Amino acid sequence: MRIAILSDIHANREAFDAVLEAVQNLAPDQLVLLGDLVGYGPDPVYVVEKAAGLVGSGAFCIMGNHDEAAAFGRADMTENARVSIEWTRKQVGREHLDFLARLPLSLRSEDRLYVHASAERPEKWVYIRDIGAAERCLSSSDARFVFCGHTHIPAIYYALPGARPIHFSPLGNVAAPLSELRRHLIVVGAVGQPRDGNPAACFALLNTERREVTMVRVPYDHEATARKIEASGLPAWLGMRLKIGR
């Protein structure tokens, strides 16, 4: 089985479209969206409607912290994030907010758990940035694979039973093996706002038969998105960071 796993689209139409074209060419068996459809970017209506259409066609989709903030008006966030959520709520309609509000915090499919931030109290939006956070995430679920986003930086943590996880930074477009003996926590990077120094959009392609995962990098017209951010009146830094991948 081949599963395409996307996270942190952040209302970036250009990145989302480029990634969906790549996904279509790969023709996976399942598509999963790990949340943060909105926030930061200039096209929340387009992205939410596109995501809703994909869900209607069988895709999985879960809630991210920016989706929660938009749906319920909560904005305990950084200044740029708060401003973008307030702007987003003025752009979208009730039907878009209702779609975001109905999204689950996590989904389980066979031996795979999908969550936006961490299996450790998903509603608290914990960042997995180190071994300790990865260990707490894995100990909070018995799933063999946990997939998440939230940090915008692709990473893989491997763990033998009773041992601390080991961190691995996967290379773009290079398959990373998944051990049959280990459990795995896979942070899939970001479609709409990469922060690992590479401005190309990122998503994960899991191949369960070959026991491997690939962080697929997809270049897109981030200059066009940055221009739209500037024209919308959103903070200029949100466009600049797309250009530098930070």
Hey, what domains does the chain have and what are their CATH numbers? Answer: 2-110+172-180+190-244 (3.60.21.10)
Residues 39 and 10 sit within 8 Å (Cβ to Cβ) = yes
Residues 6+ apart with CB under 8 A from 145: 111, 112, 113, 178, 183, 184, 185, 186, 206
The pLDDT tens digits of the residues spanning 120-155 come to: 999 999 999 999 999 999 999 999 999 999 999 999
Q: Where are the alpha helices (DSSP H) in the chain?
A: 13-26, 44-56, 65-72, 79-91, 94-102, 131-139, 222-232, 236-244
Give the mean model confidence (pLDDT) for residues 70-92: 91
The two three-digit tokens of residue 96, written as one number? 């878009």
Which pLDDT does position 75 carry in this prediction?
Answer: 65
The pLDDT tens digits of the residues spanning 96-117 come to: 999 999 999 999 999 999 999 9
CB atoms within 10 A of CB 168: 14
pTM as predicted: 0.96
The pLDDT tens digits of the residues spanning 29-76 come to: 999 999 999 999 999 999 999 999 999 999 999 999 999 999 998 767
Three-class SS of residue 20?
Answer: helix
The pLDDT tens digits of the residues spanning 150-196 come to: 999 999 999 987 789 999 999 999 999 998 889 999 999 999 999 99
Three-class SS of residue 166?
Answer: strand
Which pLDDT does position 201 carry in this prediction?
Answer: 98
d(CA 67, CA 81): 12
